[in-house]
Amino acid sequence: MYDIAVIGGGASGFAAAVSAKQTDGQLSVIILEKMFRSGKKLAATGNGKCNLSNTNITSGNYHGSIDAMEIISKTPDAMNYFRDTYGVLCVTGSEGRNGGLYPRSNSANTVLSAVRLKMQSLGIEERCDFDVTKIGRIKNGYKLYSKNGEVECRRVIIACGGYAGPAFGTDGGMLRLLRDMGLNSAKICPAVAPLRVAPESVKGLKGVRIKGEVSAFSDGKLLRKEAGEIQFNENNLSGICVFNMAYLFQQYEGRLTLRTDLFQQITESDLYEYLADNVRIDRGDYPLEEFLTGIFVKNLAIYLVKKAVGRSLDDKIKSLKNGEIRRIASLIKSLEFEVTGCSPWQNAQVTMGGITAECVNGKLETLKYKGMYLCGEILDVAGDCGGYNLQWAWSSGIWAGRNCALSLKG
């Protein structure tokens, strides 16, 4: 019988196992992973560069019923944690982006290898191809069942992630099992993901990328505003600023509108004046489709004029009426898209929803099952894009691992 079994060999499971062993080196700790190899998702994070945290973390970066900041504030900051625990040096600034913290090597594999080395040196066991499909209670602990055998343990830490990125082993199976065991899960939806819009609303825009600002509204209320690169695809909008709005779909399904500002540097009235007094005159003899080509890439320029004036683009620019130019300026400043859905889980990085705050105590132990701890994405926490999700995985893993180990001391 192991003292602690950690189900899930991902970021939070690794942190939990290491933290438990560091708390009490005498404990026997095993990681059970359903894939043939653990850490597959970690190796793919940040496009292989591993955006492992952020230097600017606030509660506004986290969504869901769990108070992520409360736990993050109790654990070491990522820069120190990685240097002191794994010998991995991290950087921000020129090599990082937007406060993002990356390993100095710019390689996620460096992080994974360093974590593996540490786990080996601490004597943490690992068993792969072990998909836990049932958790049973036994005297003084738990029995974990998989088609490849059974493992008994005094304590269990569940670090199985959610539904996002199913190719990495996270297909929501453990969340469903925990729900069947009577734990409450908040409604789930893909987060850090593109948002779907009607294909006809973005017709002609596929492949267009532009720096701008996106605002999310529901029933006229502004929910979130963020600047960045907006990417138009066949049936969705993407880009980090859009990814960061995806979690809102959970609460505002069917009532979510994205409004883009494609020219933040100028007010709508100044833009109108420039278009009417300069562009209409300077380009007067060109066809309408050239009206905005000095400002935007051609596809976007044509899309905006077509949508605003609704007449032949062969007409001359000088034929534009003031009202039409006003409509063009207004579209540039506030082009709206109704969100029709979320992207499939394959395209999502994070799961919004998960086991809710009322199911666990401050030590991340479930109230219903003593000696069962949860950490990482399986809990009802979703962070923004930019290292916030891995930070949650590390912190919640460290915290659950430490508390779990301490519970065996008493």
Q: Which helix (H) or strand (E) holds 125?
A: strand 125-127
Stretch that binds ligand FAD, among 1-9, 83-91, 135-143, 180-188 (CB under 6 A): 1-9
The encoded tokens of residue 386 equal 């930019």
Pick between residue 276 and residue 350 the one whose CB is nearest to ligand FAD: 350
In this structure, the strands spanning 29-32 and 2-7 are parallel
Q: Which of residues 206-245 bind ligand FAD (CB under 6 A)?
A: none
Identity (one letter) of the amino acid at 231?
Q
Q: How far is the CB of 131 from ligand FAD (least distance, A)?
A: 5
Among positions 85, 92, 110, 170, the unique one binding ligand FAD when judged by CB under 6 A: 170
- What's the CA gap between 313 and 306, in Å, rounded? 7
**Residue 339 backbone phi and psi in degrees, to 5:** -80, 125
**Strand positions, DSSP E, 325-367:** 335-342, 350-352
- Shortest gap between Cβ of 120 and ligand FAD (angstroms)? 18
Q: How far apart are CA 346 and CA 149, in angstroms?
A: 29
Stretch that binds ligand FAD, among 26-34, 60-68, 208-216, 277-285 (CB under 6 A): 26-34
Residue 324 CB, nearest distance to ligand FAD (Å)?
A: 44
The yes or no reply on residue 377 touching ligand FAD (CB under 6 A) is yes
Q: Is the distance from CB of 88 to CB of 81 less than 8 angstroms?
A: no
Residue 124 lies near ligand FAD (rule: CB under 6 A): no
CA–CA distance, 149 with 89 (Å, rounded to integer): 39
Phi, psi of 214 (to 5 degrees): -120, 135
Q: How many C-beta atoms lie closer than 10 Å to residue 375's C-beta? A: 35
Closest CB to ligand FAD among residues 240, 317: 240
Pick from 23, 43, 44, 76 the residue near ligand FAD by CB under 6 A: 44
Residue 164 binds to ligand FAD (criterion: CB under 6 A): yes
Record the tokens describing residue 6, joined without a space.
Answer: 């950690």
CA dihedral 402, 404, 406, 408 (to 10 degrees): -150
For ligand FAD, which is the closer residue by CB, 215 or 250?
A: 250
Minimum gap (Å) between residue 16 Cβ and ligand FAD:
9
In this chain, which stretch among 31-39, 62-70, 112-120, 332-340 interacts with ligand FAD, using CB under 6 A?
31-39
The residue within the footprint of ligand FAD, chosen from 3, 13, 186, 366 (CB under 6 A), is: 13
The first and second tokens of residue 155, run together, are 């304590």
Q: Interacting stretch for ligand FAD, rule CB under 6 A, among 208-216, 269-277, 297-305, 386-394?
A: 386-394
What residue ranges in 177-220 does DSSP mark as E strands? 189-191, 195-197, 209-218
Question: Does the footprint of ligand FAD cover residue 132 (CB under 6 A)?
Answer: yes
Identity of residue 347: N
Assess contact for 12 and 41: CB atoms under 8 A.
no
Considering only the stretches 70-78, 155-163, 304-312, 353-361, report the one whose residues sit in contact with ligand FAD under the rule CB under 6 A: 155-163
Q: How far apart are the first and last CA of the chain?
A: 18
Among 6, 9, 19, 247, binds ligand FAD (CB under 6 A): 9
Task: State which of residues 131, 290, 324, 365 lies at the interface with ligand FAD (CB under 6 A).
Answer: 131
Question: Using CB under 6 A as the criterion, which residues of the chain lie in contact with ligand FAD when the complex forms?
Answer: 7-13, 32-35, 38, 41, 44-46, 50-51, 130-132, 159-161, 164-165, 168-170, 173-174, 349-350, 376-377, 387-390, 393
